[in-house]
Amino acid sequence: MDARMRPVQTSRSPQGVEEARVAEEVVRALAASGRFRTDPVEVSSSEGVVRLRGRVGSYYQKQVAQAAALTVIGGRHLVNEIEVT
C-alpha cells in the first residue's frame, strides 16, 4: 500500500473495525487505479459515510478517486472533499 494514501481509523468496536476495512478497501482501489502516485489522498469511514480528502492535480484525478471509491463502498454515502490544485 502506498504510504501517501492511508485509511484513518478511529474505533476498535465491531462497527469501527468494519469501517476501517471499508477505508482499507478504498485505499486499495485508489492504488489499483495507478493515478495517485504523487498526490496524497486520505480515506476515512465512519457511521456509514466514506470521506475522501487531499489534493490532486486535476479534476480527472478527483473523479477517478470518486469512481474507485464507489466500486467498493457498498451502500455507504461518499463525500469527496478532494481539492484540485
Determine the pLDDT at residue 16.
80
User: Would you place residue 8 in the very low, low, confident or very high pLDDT band (cuts 50, 70, 90)?
Assistant: low
Percentage of the chain lying above the pLDDT 90 cut: 66
Average pLDDT of the residues in 25-52: 89
Q: Residue 40 CB: number of other CB atoms within 10 A?
A: 14
| H helix intervals, the chain | 14-33, 59-70
Per-residue b or e along 74-85, where b marks 16 or more CB atoms closer than 10 Å to that residue's CB: eebeeeeebeee
Average pLDDT of the residues in 28-33: 91
Give whole-number Cα distances, 37 to 13, 17, 34, 40, in Å: 32, 27, 7, 8
Q: What is the CATH number of the domain that holds 49?
A: 3.30.1340.30
- Greater pLDDT, 37 or 24: 24
Looking at the 3D structure of the chain, how many domains does it have? Answer: 1
